[in-house]
Amino acid sequence: MIQVQLNKPIIEIASSAGWCFGVERIVEMAEKLLAQRAPDEPVYCLGELIHNPQEVARLRAKGMVFVKSHEELPPLEPGQRRKVLIRAHGVAPSVKKILREKGYEIFDGTCPLVTIPHRFAREIVEQGYRLVIMGDREHPEIQGILGEVEGLNARVDVIPGPEAIEALQIKASDRVGLISQTTHPFEKFAQLVGEVLKHALEVKAYNTICQATFDRQDAIRELAQRCDLVIVIGGRNSSNTCRLAEIASQYTVCYHIEDVSELKGAWLQGKRRIGISAGASTPTRCIEEVKTAIEHLSGCL
């Protein structure tokens, strides 16, 4: 059977997609530091600035040196000044202390919205609740929160979502405080809170999911329901991008790509309405590139 595509597909970008306030802010900080540096002066960044390989490559070309941890930072000569940028995800207080002791000048780009769960985590523990964090244990944001409550002698658990609730071994008399990684889906958090409440007498929960995440997730949910294909753009190590792909997949066919080079024409065949969304670390330029490529591949132009 020969399939003839009579209509050009409609291409829609989600009403909320791509760079958020925290990412814009940190990229601006990085650009400023790079613009001001002396010709031979490296500007260090602890971890990848944002979870977007193209953007990281662009900044590396301008003189930014990315190190995986503070241990990779070279010891400074007496009187030598070096700048280190802390990215939007934040770090544990102990890391900042080490940087200071090593003599580095700290530029703290932690997103103000990421510092909110830090404060609540501490409050929860100090008020005598068990702390449950919904998030990825290895994610820098969660590592930062864990560092915040380190040594406070409380039970702290990190779980990916409600499906892992058994690991918490909640007792009826437990008082449980919950927070979420800022980029996790709200529905999973609400479900987790409900599940915990089923077992524990008292539950205290802070909605620490940031508004930008919330808006992006709402937008892709709405978009995915009326598309027969959704393309999500963003780093594969970007937690918030992975969540977007996860949500879209619940409603339609979804592909998660890092940039336009991964797009395949075969995916577009027979599709009538194609949605595009992108994670918080994806520049608008990348979204436009993908849109243009889809138009070309599907014969719109």
Q: Could you tell me which stretch among 23-31, 84-92, 200-208, 285-293 binds a second copy (CB under 8 A)?
A: 200-208
- When asked if residue 191 is in the footprint of a second copy (CB under 8 A), the reply is yes
Give the residue, chosen from 203, 220, 224, 244, that forms a contact with a second copy under the rule CB under 8 A.
203
Q: How far is CA 94 from the centre of its chain?
A: 22
Joined tokens for residue 220: 């892709």
Q: Is 141 one of the catalytic residues?
A: yes
Q: Could you tell me which stretch among 18-26, 99-107, 193-201, 241-249 binds a second copy (CB under 8 A)?
A: 193-201
Beta bridge partners of 42: none
User: What is the closest distance, in whole angstroms, from the C-beta atom of residue 177 to a second copy in the complex?
Assistant: 9
- For residue 18, give the DSSP letter: S
- When asked if residue 300 is in the footprint of a second copy (CB under 8 A), the reply is no
Burial of 166 (C-beta count, 10 Å sphere; 0-12/13-18/19+): exposed
Which residue do the tokens 């600035």 mark? 49
Choice between 27 and 205, CB closer to a second copy = 205
Q: Please report which helix (H) or strand (E) contains residue 54, including its range.
A: helix 53-61
Query: Is there a contact between 51 and 237 (Cβ–Cβ < 8 Å)?
Result: yes
Q: Could you tell me which stretch among 27-35, 137-145, 199-207, 278-286 binds a second copy (CB under 8 A)?
A: 199-207
The residue from 28, 48, 77, 141 that is catalytic is 141
Give the residue, chosen from 149, 205, 248, 290, that forms a contact with a second copy under the rule CB under 8 A.
205
The three-class DSSP label of residue 25 is helix
Size of the site for a second copy (CB under 8 A): 17
Nearest Cα neighbor of 275 from 4, 1, 16 is 16
Question: 28-67: which residues touch a second copy (CB under 8 A)?
Answer: none
Give the residue, chosen from 36, 202, 226, 264, that forms a contact with a second copy under the rule CB under 8 A.
202
Nearest Cα neighbor of 244 from 184, 158, 159 is 184
- When asked if residue 200 is in the footprint of a second copy (CB under 8 A), the reply is yes
Give the residue, chosen from 74, 194, 270, 299, that forms a contact with a second copy under the rule CB under 8 A.
194
Tell me how many degrees the CA angle 243-13-4 measures, rounded to the nearest 5: 105
On the CB side of 181, how many CA atoms lie within 13 Å of its CA?
27
Choice between 135 and 235, CB closer to a second copy = 135
Choice between 105 and 202, CB closer to a second copy = 202
User: What is the closest distance, in whole angstroms, from the C-beta atom of residue 90 to a second copy in the complex?
Assistant: 19
Joined tokens for residue 271: 């599709």
> Following CA atoms 144, 147, 153, 159 in sequence, which dihedral angle do they give, to the nearest 10 degrees?
40
- When asked if residue 206 is in the footprint of a second copy (CB under 8 A), the reply is yes
Tell whether the torsion through CA atoms of 200, 204, 209 and 214 is positive or negative: positive
Joined tokens for residue 213: 């995440």
- When asked if residue 171 is in the footprint of a second copy (CB under 8 A), the reply is no
Question: 207-226: which residues touch a second copy (CB under 8 A)?
Answer: 207
Choice between 123 and 246, CB closer to a second copy = 123
Choice between 125 and 231, CB closer to a second copy = 125
Interacting residues with a second copy (CB under 8 A): 186, 189-191, 193-195, 197-198, 200-207
Catalytic residues: 141
